[in-house]
Amino acid sequence: MADKVAFELVSPERLLVSDRFDMVVIPGGDGDFGVLPGHAPLVSTVRPGVIDIHEGGRVAHRVFVDGGFAEVLPDRCTVLAERAVMVGDIDRADVEARVREAELDLRDAEADEARDSARARLATLNAMLEAARAS
């Protein structure tokens, strides 16, 4: 099937997706990039955001990833995600509560390391909340 790209999304907990699709759009470290069959080889970091999986001319699946790495070859794409969840499974109320906690942690942080950690967590949670609101 040269008209499809094999795509696997793996998190430390499990294999979330393993199938062939028309296209996959990944939130790369340097910007979003689409993967079609025949794509040039590429290795990229993945920033927190949504992977859109296209099938039949539409976005068939949306998965929020909390960073990771992507490897692209002409016939396949593999994403190793730190964490991943289907966008439809995101609990907005829970994420909103975690955003408030992260904001307090950032405000109360005294050391640079604690501030950096709170900023990173807050950025990821805000990206997750944005994904949930957009669905």
Task: For residue range 43-96, list pLDDT tens digits in order.
Answer: 999 999 999 999 999 999 999 999 999 999 999 999 999 999 999 999 999 999
The residue among 80 and 1 whose pLDDT is bigger is: 80
DSSP string, 96-118: HHHHHHHHHHHHH--SHHHHHHH
Q: Inform me whether the pLDDT recorded for 109 exceeds 90.
A: no
What pTM did the predictor assign?
Answer: 0.89
pLDDT value, residue 2: 64
The pLDDT confidence band at residue 135, using thresholds 50, 70 and 90, is confident
Residue 1 pLDDT more than 60? no
Contacts 24+ apart (CB under 8 A), 98-103: 98/125, 99/125, 99/126, 99/129
Is the pLDDT score of 119 beyond 80? yes
Burial bucket for residue 124 (CB in 10 Å: 0-12, 13-18, 19+): buried
Mean pLDDT of all residues in 103-124: 90
